[in-house]
Chain A
Amino acid sequence: MEEIRFISAIGALGAGVHASSFEEAMSHEPHFIAADAGTTDAGPYSLGGGQPAFPREMVKHDLTLMLRAGRRAAIPVLVGSAGTAGGDTHVDWTLDIAREIAAEQGLTFRAAVIYSEQDKSYLKGLLRENRIRPLHPAPHIDEEVIDRSIRIVGMMGVEPLQRAIEAGADFVLAGRCSDSALFAAVPILRGFPEGLSWHAGKVSECGTMAAENLGKGVIFGQIRRDHAVIRPFGPGLRCTPQSVAAHGLYENADPYLHKESSGTLDLSRATFESIDDVSVRIKGSTLIPSDTYTVKLEGAELIGYQSIVIGGIRDPFIIRRLDSWLAGVRQRIEEAVAEVLGNTLSRSQYQLIFHIYGRDAVMGNLEPNRATIANEVGLVLEATAPTQEMATKIAMLSRQPLLHHPVPEWKGSITTFACLHNPAHIDRGPVYRFNFNHVALPHTREEMFRTKLVDLGGSKAS
């Protein structure tokens, strides 16, 4: 095998595979099709709440195109970080969609389903053995943090994917998975250089974001012994040396060194050159093998339940003393909460946060122009408490203080806050935080991931 070819069908499964570009790329005879389905960029809700960030219909649309093409060409299809967060529930949600597609499209195929959610007592064991190490910066963790986590996933590298391919899987459905590993697994298994395979994956995993211009399409990769070629298929799309090099920067703290389970991808000596109008040749990327195999952990825990109030202030007398006025409002809310909920809720059990749009809501303490305030400010009050009922009550109790807290320049009764909605509060339900930025050092490369083979569709239907 002189070269191995692949399609990155979409940067995020469910964002909408561009059918005609995908078909055009299929005519170049790829050896596998892959798409990443996950991200932490959407926030901790997906991992904490067990919900995908994309609608089921769109995931089904994308997966249908991929599975149909994969079966037609008899090549494997890989999907990683299923259902956004890659927890077991997210994997099963995606498997259910695949099962439906198999039945509807009359497809028969073997799926390898790889779970990556972590058992809490296993993790506590690793912690006791000093086999969980912080990355930087990392929140504090201990056994209590593990216990109160709703879900903790481990990010797999190429190994579980390769075992699945070796087991004859036509469709590899992985829980939380390194984005690049989805694309590096098969080439490395077939003996192509690790550095080029990981780098080609890194460039391709966001789909057409590696192209110079934004647009619909897919990314097509070719990996050879001493170089890789990346090109887009899609109307007007092209990759340039700069666009491909620049994509190495995107969402990465370090543009040159990318830590993976089995080593560090080193791009510091990588070179990029145009070979035609749309294609870029990559050389010189290397994988520095790691002495210790590590698995990145992602966890989410419940912060509490939230209710918010949205409104605005236009009165210049209030705006010029906004902080002291809001301090007064806050005090009156706290007094009301103490009076109504004081028996069941202490002050340390709930949080009141004002986001002041028009001043510093977007940048918070990083805002350099805090003194410059617009004619009006938008205000979002977030009340967070241990139950939704409590959060809702706090938000309801906030309305009167916001509406009628005195302004010294005015004599008589005034209304000080423009509510956007009726009712003034909106219940947000549970809110979560990410609570791990750590790596685990498993005893073996396999022990953190569980694979089951499922035959879908046709007479082999399970």
Chain B
Amino acid sequence: MRLASLATLIRSKNAGPFSLTFDIMFADQESYFRVKRSGALNANVFAKLYHCAPETVRFFECDNALAFKFSMPRPIFQGDLGDGDLHGGQQFAPLMEVEVS
């Protein structure tokens, strides 16, 4: 199943001008723990999707918020020449397609 059909919110955003952060949130424990148990989300999967080194990716499983979080350094710092997403808000689409078994 696609991650987008299990999650209630998949979003990206600046975490300050130098990092991007991605949140994947769920409405209920069942969906959240299904994804958690499946192992579909981890730093390596993210690094492959976002063309970065796995050691630069921070990954969190937040049980009390029923949420996963990834953070990565911004490829281009916010607002610098070439940056096409000032708020970092439209960087999450590749995560929607992650397959959850």
Q: Could you tell me which A residues sit within 8 Å of B by CB distance?
A: 40-45, 135-139, 241-242, 245-246, 248-256, 270-272, 303, 351, 353, 355, 361-366, 368, 382, 384, 431-434, 437
Q: Could you tell me which B residues sit within 8 Å of A by CB distance?
A: 13-19, 21, 23, 25, 49-51, 58, 60, 62, 64-67, 69, 71, 73-87, 90-91, 93-94
Chain A, Cβ-Cβ closest to B60: A255
Check if A366 sits within 8 Å of B78, measured CB to CB: no
- Across chains A and B, the number of contacting residue pairs, with CB separation under 8 Å, is 121
CA distance A366 to B93 in the complex (A): 10
Known: A249-B21, A366-B50. 19 other contacts (CB 8 A): A40-B17, A44-B17, A137-B73, A242-B66, A246-B23, A246-B62, A249-B23, A249-B67, A252-B21, A253-B16, A254-B58, A256-B62, A303-B80, A303-B81, A353-B82, A368-B49, A382-B81, A432-B79, A434-B18
Q: Secondary structure of the A side of the interface?
A: loop
Check if A351 sits within 8 Å of B81, measured CB to CB: yes
Q: Tell me whether A254 and B17 are in contact in the complex, defined as CB-CB below 8 angstroms, given that A246-B25, A355-B84 are known contacts.
A: no
Check if B67 sits within 8 Å of A246, measured CB to CB: yes
| A40, A251, A382, A432: most-surrounded residue (chain B CB, <10 A) | A251
Chain B, Cβ-Cβ closest to A39: B14
Expressed in whole angstroms, the minimum distance between the Cβ of B2 and any Cβ of chain A is 15
Chain B, Cβ-Cβ closest to A247: B65
Check if A255 sits within 8 Å of B62, measured CB to CB: yes
CA distance A364 to B51 in the complex (A): 11
CA distance A43 to B86 in the complex (A): 7
Expressed in whole angstroms, the minimum distance between the Cβ of B76 and any Cβ of chain A is 7
Please give me the 7 A-B residue pairs with the lowest Cβ-Cβ distance, nearest first. A245-B65, A253-B71, A253-B15, A137-B73, A43-B79, A246-B65, A434-B17
Check if B78 sits within 8 Å of A43, measured CB to CB: yes
Chain A, Cβ-Cβ closest to B52: A366
Chain A residues within 8 Å of B51, by CB: 365-366
Expressed in whole angstroms, the minimum distance between the Cβ of A286 and any Cβ of chain B is 15
CA distance A326 to B29 in the complex (A): 50
Chain A residues within 8 Å of B18, by CB: 135, 137-139, 434, 437
Check if A363 sits within 8 Å of B62, measured CB to CB: no
Check if B85 sits within 8 Å of A248, measured CB to CB: no
**13 A–B contact pairs at CB < 8 A?**
A41-B87, A245-B62, A246-B66, A246-B67, A249-B69, A252-B15, A253-B15, A253-B58, A253-B71, A362-B85, A366-B51, A433-B79, A433-B80
CA distance A255 to B51 in the complex (A): 23
Check if B84 sits within 8 Å of A254, measured CB to CB: no
Check if B14 sits within 8 Å of A251, measured CB to CB: yes
CA distance A138 to B67 in the complex (A): 28
**Other-chain contact of B64, A43, A135, A271, A353 (Cβ < 8 Å):** A271
Chain B residues within 8 Å of A351, by CB: 81
Check if B64 sits within 8 Å of A245, measured CB to CB: yes
Check if A136 sits within 8 Å of B73, measured CB to CB: yes
**Other-chain contact of A364, B16, B73, B75, B79 (Cβ < 8 Å):** B75
Chain B residues within 8 Å of A137, by CB: 18-19, 73-74
Chain B, Cβ-Cβ closest to A353: B82
Check if B17 sits within 8 Å of A241, measured CB to CB: no
